[in-house]
Amino acid sequence: MKRLFALILVFALLATLCACGGKKAEGAVSTQPAGADATEAQTGADTGESEDSSSGGVEVDEGLFNVTLTIPAEFAEDMTQDELDADVAAGECKSAKLNEDGSVTMEMSKKQHDEMMSGLADSFQETFDGLIGDEGTNFVSIDHNDDFTEFTVVTTSTELNLTESFSTVALYFAGGMYNAFAGNSVDNICVKFVNEASGEVIEEANSRDMNG
């Protein structure tokens, strides 16, 4: 699982370097209840909820939380079945399969999913900490809310340099990936840059502005 997180972070870095492209990634990770393909209609009837195929949400049924994550091949590059089997043996998931197209399908319990989300959050935080004190930025701190949809970046800059501006895309990516694995639908990720001395917001960026 740690290797998978590392690969995701590599894509966050690539997103930063390619920020000039200005395109928002779509549907990186799909999340759905275990066995949804076979029991989709029955699940809707049992819960009294209508099916929303675009939500990418994770359903909770009577406190039993088995979730299947399907991770696209581009985010599971170089993963092997032996590594996935090791994750299963370590209790990180119930099952994990490397599919013929290179994608990875994992099934896990609620507890395992919570632990995975905690690990993913820690991995992103390590990356954010690495941006602080980097020679290309003047960042003092990077804080975020629990679901990584709101970021506050404190900097000594009064005007963002190119590297600082590009970091916005990495934060968008982190927020998007975190919520994709959580099964949340996110309309916007907001990044505010605050000058350390004045406490004023010198720039605000919103991922919804990248649409179109």
Q: How confident is the model at residue 191 (pLDDT cuts 50, 70, 90)?
A: very high
Q: Give percent above pLDDT 90 in the chain.
A: 29
Mean of pLDDT values over 176-180: 85
| Distance separating alpha carbons of residues 119 and 124, to the nearest angstrom | 9
CA 3 to chain centre: 15
Which of 59, 49, 6, 24 minimizes the C-alpha distance to 169? 24
Q: What's the pLDDT tens digit per position in 72-108?
A: 877 777 789 999 999 899 888 899 999 998 888 888 8
Q: Which residues, listed in sequence order, are joined to residue 106 by a DSSP beta bridge?
A: 69, 96
Mean of pLDDT values over 132-161: 92
Which of 4, 33, 201 minimizes the C-alpha distance to 103? 4
Q: Which pLDDT value is given to residue 47?
A: 38
| Distance separating alpha carbons of residues 116 and 119, to the nearest angstrom | 5
| Distance separating alpha carbons of residues 188 and 82, to the nearest angstrom | 37
Mean of pLDDT values over 120-135: 84
Q: Which pLDDT value is given to residue 19?
A: 41
Q: Which pLDDT value is given to residue 123?
A: 85
Q: Which pLDDT value is given to residue 61?
A: 30
